[in-house]
């Protein structure tokens, strides 16, 4: 689990959001490279006005995001080799991540809350 990290961000228009990815593939002291890769991917997810972005200390910081558990399951189901195969795995995953893949977008919290409110009200249009 220590190879899986959460990254939270705030978009000026859409609000709070987050991603899960293979973050421990990078130097934890300098997360600039990882955050730059994630920013580029977030544009495709609709986050075009990012005000802030940061690496989470723990996945618990983003566990209240809309699709947290669905995305976490994907990463948990991918085995991480230990011992001799780990260095090769890191190189492969880092290359994949730099290509903008294996970054799971958890959704925008505000949009999800709005959806739940409309669902509760039977999807009636706002007056």
110 torsion bin: left (phi>0), alpha (psi -120 to 50), beta (else): alpha
Q: What percent of the chain has pLDDT over 70?
A: 87
Tally the C-alpha atoms within 13 A of residue 12's C-alpha that lie toward its C-beta: 5
Q: For the CA atoms of 37, 82, 61, 28, what is the dihedral angle to 10 degrees?
A: -50
* Number of structural domains found in the chain: 1
- The Cα–Cα gap between 8 and 18 comes to 4
Residue 126 lies in a domain: no
Q: What is the greatest pairwise CA distance in the chain?
A: 62
Residue 127: inside a domain: no
Q: Which domain holds residue 103?
A: 5-120
**Predicted confidence (pLDDT) per residue in 46-98, tens digit:** 888 999 999 998 999 999 999 999 999 999 998 888 888 888 988 898 899 88
Q: For residue 125, tell me if it sits in a domain.
A: no
- The band of 27, judged by pLDDT with boundaries at 50, 70 and 90, is low
Give the HSE-up count for residue 63: Cα atoms under 13 Å, Cβ half-sphere. Answer: 5
Q: Is 31 inside any structural domain?
A: yes
Q: Tell me how far apart the alpha carbons of residues 42 and 81 are, in angstroms, rounded to a whole number.
A: 28
């Amino acid at each position: 689990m220590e190879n899986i990290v959460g990254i939270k961000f705030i978009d000026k228009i859409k609000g709070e959001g987050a991603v899960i990815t293979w973050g421990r593939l990078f130097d934890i002291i300098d997360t600039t490279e990882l955050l730059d890769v994630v920013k580029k991917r977030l544009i495709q997810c609709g986050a075009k006005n990012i005000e802030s972005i940061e690496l989470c200390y723990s996945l618990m910081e983003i566990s209240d995001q809309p699709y947290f558990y669905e995305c976490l399951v994907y990463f948990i189901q991918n085995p991480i080799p230990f011992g001799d195969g780990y260095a090769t795995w890191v190189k492969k995953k880092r290359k994949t991540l730099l290509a903008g893949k294996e970054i799971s977008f958890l959704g925008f919290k505000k949009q999800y809350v709005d959806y739940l409110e409309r669902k509760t009200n039977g999807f009636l249009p706002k007056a």
